[in-house]
A = this chain, B = another copy of it.
Amino acid sequence: MKPNSDEKEPEQSNWAWPRKTWSFLSEVRRRSPLIQCITNFVSMDLMANTLLSAGASPAMLHTSDEIPDFTPHINALCINVGTLSSDWLPAMKLAAETASNLGKPWVLDPVAAGASVFRMNACLELLKLKPTVIRGNGSEIMALSKASVEPTKGVDSTHESTDAVESAKALAEATGAVVAVSGAVDIVTDGKLVVGAHNGVAMMQKITATGCSVTALIAAFVAVDQNHALEATASALSVFGIAGELGLRLANGPASLRMHLIDSLYGLDEAAVLSHVKITRF
């Protein structure tokens, strides 16, 4: 069963987002998609644990020497430029190209895209390799959309996600990717349709690598139904947010929230998903 088996366009469907979201999570757990991550040093641990807790199988392989042998066997690829250096970029491009050529979905996390000319140029080169989804915070998506280089607040956003809606739409139109903007409300757009995922808690921003980790989760969700990348992306953002909401009930601060978030993601059942998903047209 495909998560979204009806033939209707999203615009025409009854927007049964909670069922759709549960269907994606169930499929990830059932199929355990193999997700290759070429990511930054800070996030590797939490990203791998996020994928494992969701039922996916993470593989952190990052060298050009291995990509021709390994990447053909993956179900989706996640590329994150958080601690980019010139010696990692060629492998990112080779992996993205390999995935694209093989029709496998891949997801780009343009961390701190505007922090330097080097990083912006790297992101622009990666964009040419046709990511399926791009997820960033408001500042990153706006910088990428304008292809502008304005060093801002490091990796933390100085823009709300809603400010970035027009930038996200423009970026989606220009690249053909689904674009997601994390914030108090997460925005997802394919350039025409815009949906908002309203789950999550503010304290998640006080935990490093939560953004990177939800991008990896998006890769896992897209892996099980790449023809519905917008729905997969919104569902992954919602699921991760719900895990944060449930985690916060038991947390006393960012470190215990991080632990309870992962435990909650692992334990999420149908009832919790159906009652918590809040995704709306925007």
Contacts and interface: CB of A to CB of B under 8 A. Distances in A.
Interface of A: 32, 34, 36, 40-42, 44-46, 48-49, 52-53, 57-63, 65-66, 68-70, 72-74, 82-87, 112, 115-119, 149, 151-156, 205-209, 251-256, 258-267
A40 B69 contact: no
A279 to B, nearest CB: 24
A254 B208 contact: no
A151 to B, nearest CB: 4
Q: How many copies does the complex hold?
A: 3
Given A53-B255, A61-B116, A66-B84, 20 more contacts: A34-B153, A34-B154, A42-B45, A42-B48, A42-B60, A48-B208, A52-B207, A53-B253, A57-B156, A58-B155, A61-B154, A63-B84, A69-B117, A73-B151, A253-B263, A253-B267, A254-B263, A254-B266, A255-B261, A256-B260
Nearest to A117: B69
B151 A206 contact: no
Of A36, A46, A63, A73, the most chain B CB neighbours within 10 A belong to A63
B66 A119 contact: yes
A254 B49 contact: yes
Contacts of A59: 112, 115, 154-155
A118 B208 CA distance: 32
Contact of A52 (B85, B153, B206): B206
